[in-house]
Structure 1
Amino acid sequence: MSATTSTPTSPTSSARAMAWSRRAASAREFWREFRHYKAGMIGLGILAVIIILAILAPVLAPTRMLDLTQLLQSPRYAPPSWAHPFGTDDQGRELWVRMLWGSRVSLVVGFAATAMSMIIGTIIGIAAGHFTGWVGGLLMRIVDFFLVLPSLILAIVLSSVLERGVMTIVIAIGLTSWAGTARVVRSQTLSIESRDYVERARVLGGGHWHIIFKHLLPAVMPLVLANTTLTVGSAIIAESTLSFLGLGDPSKQSWGTILKNSMDLSAATSGYWWYVLIPGLAILLVVLAFTLVGRAVETIVNPTLRSR
Structure 2
Amino acid sequence: MFSNMNLIFRAILADKMALFGLVVIVLFAVVALFAPQIAPYDPDEIITDAETDVALKYEPPSTRFLFGTNNLARDIFSQVVYGSRVALLVGFLSALSVALIGANVGLIAGYFGGRVDDFLMRLVDISYSIPFEPFAILLVGLLGPSVFNLVLVMTLIMWRSPARVIRALVLSLSQRPFVKAARVAGASDARILYQHIAPNIFPVILMYVPITIGWAIIAEASISFLGFGPPQAMSWGIILQTAFASGAMRQAWWWMMAPGLSIVLVVISSYFITRALEPIANPNLVE
Return the TM-score normalized by structure 2. Answer: 0.93
Q: Is the 8 A contact 1:181 1:227 kept in 2?
A: yes
Deviations 1:129-182 (A, max 9, x none): 111221111111111110122233322221111122111111111112111111
Q: Is the 8 A contact 1:151 1:177 kept in 2?
A: no
Following superposition, the deviation at residue 234 of structure 1 comes to: 0.3
Work out which of the residue numbers 167, 172, 178 in structure 1 matches 2:159: 178
Aligned twin of 2:31: 53
Aligned twin of 1:230: 211
User: Percent identity at matched positions?
Assistant: 35
Aligned twin of 2:278: 298
Work out which of the residue numbers 93, 98, 112 in structure 2 matches 1:131: 112
Higher relative contact order (CA closer than 8 Å, sequence separation 6+) = 2
Q: What does 1:1-308 correspond to in 2, within 5 Å?
A: 23-61=1-39, 64=42, 66-68=44-46, 73-268=54-249, 270-305=250-285, 307-308=286-287
Deviations 1:78-117 (A, max 9, x none): 1212232111011111100000000011000111112111
Following superposition, the deviation at residue 259 of structure 1 comes to: 0.5
Query: What residue identity is the alignment partner of 2:121?
Result: M
How many correspondences in the alignment? 284
Pick closer, same or farther for the CA change 1:67–1:241 going to 2, 3 Å.
Answer: same
Following superposition, the deviation at residue 298 of structure 1 comes to: 2.0
Cα distance in 2, alignment partners of residues 106 and 97 from structure 1 = 14
Query: What residue identity is the alignment partner of 1:161?
Result: L
Q: Secondary structure at the match of 1:299?
A: helix
Cα distance in 2, alignment partners of residues 293 and 303 from structure 1 = 16
Cα distance in 2, alignment partners of residues 210 and 148 from structure 1 = 34
Cα distance in 1, alignment partners of residues 279 and 71 from structure 2 = 45
Q: Which runs of 5+ in 1 are unaligned?
A: 1-22
Following superposition, the deviation at residue 304 of structure 1 comes to: 1.6
Q: Is the 8 A contact 1:103 1:254 kept in 2?
A: yes
Cα distance in 1, alignment partners of residues 56 and 40 from structure 2 = 19
| Deviating more after overlay: 216-225 vs 55-64 | 55-64
Q: Is the 8 A contact 1:155 1:176 kept in 2?
A: no
The structure with the larger Rg is 1
Cα distance in 1, alignment partners of residues 70 and 228 from structure 2 = 21
Cα distance in 1, alignment partners of residues 211 and 70 from structure 2 = 32
Deviations 1:30-64 (A, max 9, x none): 32333111111111111122111111111122664
